Structure formats: structure tokens, C-alpha cells
Amino acid sequence: MNNRLHFLDNLKVALTFLVIAHHAGQPYGGSNGFWYFQGREAIDLGAFFSVNAGFFMSLFFLISAYFFPASFNRKGPARFLKDWVKRLGLPLLFGFFVIMPLLMYAYYLNFRSYGIVTFWDYYLKVYFGLGGKPHGWTGPSWPDMQFGHLWFIEHLLVYAFLYTGIRKVLRRETAGISVKKPLGQGGIIAFGFLVATATFLIRLHYPIDKWVGFLGIIQTEFAHVPQYAAFFTAGIIAYHRQWLQTLSRTVGTIWLIVGVVLAACRYAGWIRFNSQSGYSWNSLAYSFYETFLCIGLSLGLIFLFREVGNKTFRWTEILSKNAFTVYVLHVPVVVCLQYAFNNIVLPVVAKLLLVSAWGIVLTFALSHLIHLASSRFRNLKKEENLPL
């Protein structure tokens, strides 16, 4: 019997689409992104960016964490950690040593005024900082080395280590699922107040979009860490208590409405407080707004996809299997498209839609080709090892 939760696979694909559109829109929507700047004629996509940032990565953490307990129970600590290090660590290294240097080199040549250098000189002297900081360095940090969008994979790897350590300390085999009462409104609201309060306290010192190298290497935006950590933990508990399967229609519908209404208020411009940090009512209000937006959209989308999207087809299986690789590869594909459309005379909205659509299509196509080639290579290796 196949107990796979297809609605989570489909939701993961939808979130991946949204992430691609989010990064495709940054240079066209006023935030400028980082690897490519539109500069002129940008449109205001602040609501789109802030609503996305308010929930979609937290929901990714919840979905990822949901599968940790079963995988750990099935494989044991050593194999569980080995598999996650291989699955996350290799793409992370590839991104750090290959993808990000290429993106940052293109940015260096096109949007900085330090002159033309060879890629190798840039790679050693600027990306890794072996040549000393140039006078008047524009930042945002020195040196240029970073994980970029792969910070999510880095954090997930850290959580895998933490989860393994906690399970080993507890030394409890939780192979079975302990079904308790379904998720109730009181628990959800209490969770929201705790996360919002922690978010407000963190943002006293770490505003949104302030990235630091925690422990020198973990690329972290502390402003959203309370949400990420809380939703990751909730994903693990949700597995043991079957919250996703037992979420009632009443609770799911209410929180879907809450999420949609809060998002609509931001799009309509009715949210007057903003994301500034510091000890202020403004910061407190936004911390609570964003937290309950996150809870509403996350629970609401889980409920919606469970009710209408718990189906699988051949094409949805292909999309789901490629979602992780697409996340790794989508930024260079999107940035290449942004450069390609740079000198084409089109309205900004048209460029945004075209880069988003083609970014989704081309990245999934590239990922699928990589998966096919990898599968073919493994089959050839098996054939080579067959006895005569």
C-alpha cells in the first residue's frame, strides 16, 4: 500500500515555482536582487516579495522536517546522516565553488567599477579575498564568497546534524506514530504568539535582510530564524501526531482565510506598519503580522492541497523528483535569462513574466536531463559490474 502524501509533493512543486518567480522578479520589482540589476523602470513588487518571504521558506522547512523521523527510524543515525550529507553537502559545495563564483563574477564585471579582471584573478583575489579589499569596496560584504540562495540547503544540513544529535541523546526509537488529538486552534494561536514574540526580540538587533556568517560559515538571516526553527520543529511533531492528515476542515478553512486575508491586506496597501527593526510598536506589529501570515498561508495551503491536490500523475511525479535540483540550479538560469532580456525593448512586466515562465520551464528541463543522464550512468556502471 502506498502511503505517500502526494499533496506534499505537489505543494513542494508549487512552492518551487514561486521561489523561481520570486528571484526572477527581484531586479524588476525594486529590490534589485543581487546578481543582476534592472536599474530603471522598476515596478513596485514589494508586497509580492514581503508576502513570499513571510511564509514560503518556513513552509519548505516544515515539509522537509516532516520526512526526517521516518527516514531516521528506517536508516538509523549513521546512514541517515551520511545520506543527508551526501544529498545536501555535494550540491552545497558545487554551489559555493562553482555556481556562486560565476554569478558573482558576472555581477563584478557589470555592476562594479573596479575594471575588468580574468575569472581566475577574481576567483582567488575577490571571491576568496586573497588579494586584499579594493579601495572603496561597495560590498555588501568582503570577500564575495557566499552560498547565495543555497543558504536553505546549508541550514537544512545543520538541522540534520542537530536532529541526529538529539535523537542519539534521547535514545528513543519512535518508529511508531503516536496519534494524539488533532491540531486545535488554541495550540496554533499559542504557537503563533511564541514565534512572533521570539521574532520581535531577535529583530531588536537583526533586521530583515541583514545576513551574517554565523560561526563564520553558516549564512544566516536571523530575522527569520525563529520562524524557520519553529516550523522545522513543527514538521517533526506533525509527523508523530499526524497533524497534516487529521487537520480538520474547519481549522484548515479558517487558517486559509486568515492567510489569504492578511496577504490581500498587504497587496492592497492596508498594512501601514513595515518591517523595520528595533524596539517599536511598528516592529512588534509586523512580527505578529508576518508570523500569523506564515501560519495562515502554511496551514491553509497544506489543507487546500490535501483536499484538492492529493493526486499524482506521471508529470507531477517528474516535477516532484526534480524540485530539489531545480532549487539548486534555478538562480543561474534565471540570471542568464535576465541578462538575455536586458537589451530587448519590452515592458518590465513582460520581462518579469517571461523570465519567470522560461525560468521554470528551462530549469525543470535542465534538471530532468541531469536526472536522466545520471540514471543512465548508474545503469551503465551496473552493467559493467555484471559477471560474465
The answer to the question of residue 329 being in a domain is: yes
The answer, as to whether pTM is greater than 0.85, is yes
At 289 the pLDDT is 96
At 150 the pLDDT is 97
More confident site: 181 or 173: 181
| C-alpha–C-alpha distance, residues 291 and 189, integer Å | 10
The answer to the question of residue 369 being in a domain is: yes
Per the CB < 8 A criterion, the answer to whether 121 and 144 are in contact is no
At 182 the pLDDT is 82
* Range of lowest pLDDT (251-260, 341-350, 359-368): 341-350
Per the CB < 8 A criterion, the answer to whether 85 and 179 are in contact is no
Q: How confident is the model at residue 29 (pLDDT cuts 50, 70, 90)?
A: confident
Element (H, E) at 264: helix 249-268
Q: How confident is the model at residue 38 (pLDDT cuts 50, 70, 90)?
A: low
The answer to the question of residue 165 being in a domain is: no
* Range of lowest pLDDT (211-220, 254-263, 293-302): 211-220
Q: How far from 191 is each of 19, 210, 224, 342, CA to CA, in Å?
A: 26, 25, 15, 45
The answer to the question of residue 295 being in a domain is: no
The answer to the question of residue 287 being in a domain is: no
Angle, helix 6-25 to helix 348-384, in steps of 10 degrees? 130
Per the CB < 8 A criterion, the answer to whether 62 and 235 are in contact is yes
What is the tens place of the pLDDT at every residue in 83-140?
999 999 999 999 999 999 999 999 999 888 888 999 999 999 999 999 989 888 887 7
Does 5 score more than 50 pLDDT?
yes
> What value does the mean pLDDT of the chain take?
91
Does 197 score more than 90 pLDDT?
yes
Residue 130 neighbours by CB under 8 Å, 6+ apart: 124
* Range of lowest pLDDT (144-148, 180-184, 227-231): 180-184
At 61 the pLDDT is 98
**Structural domain span for residue 376:** 1-44+310-388
Does 382 score more than 90 pLDDT?
no
The answer to the question of residue 328 being in a domain is: yes
At 1 the pLDDT is 39
| C-alpha–C-alpha distance, residues 76 and 83, integer Å | 11
The answer to the question of residue 162 being in a domain is: no
| C-alpha–C-alpha distance, residues 369 and 219, integer Å | 30
| C-alpha–C-alpha distance, residues 362 and 337, integer Å | 10
Q: What are phi and psi of 214, to 5 degrees?
A: -65, 130
Does 388 score more than 50 pLDDT?
no
What is the tens place of the pLDDT at every residue in 241-283?
999 999 999 999 999 999 999 999 999 988 876 666 678 888 9
- Considering the chain, what percentage of its residues have pLDDT values greater than 70? 91
Pairing mode of beta strands 218-221, 211-214 = antiparallel
Which residue matches cell numbers 541550514?
Answer: 155
| HSE-CB for 38 with a 13 A CA cutoff | 28
Would you call 138 helix, strand, or coil by DSSP? Answer: coil
For the record, the C-alpha cell of 371 comes out as 536526472
Does 193 score more than 50 pLDDT?
yes
Does 2 score more than 70 pLDDT?
no
Per the CB < 8 A criterion, the answer to whether 195 and 268 are in contact is no
Tell me which range, 1-10, 40-49, 267-276, is most confidently predicted by mean pLDDT. Answer: 40-49
Domain count, the chain: 1
What is the tens place of the pLDDT at every residue in 233-247?
999 999 999 999 999
Which residue matches cell numbers 531586479?
Answer: 27
Tell me the residue type at 323: A
Angle, helix 151-170 to helix 225-241, in steps of 10 degrees? 50
The answer to the question of residue 14 being in a domain is: yes
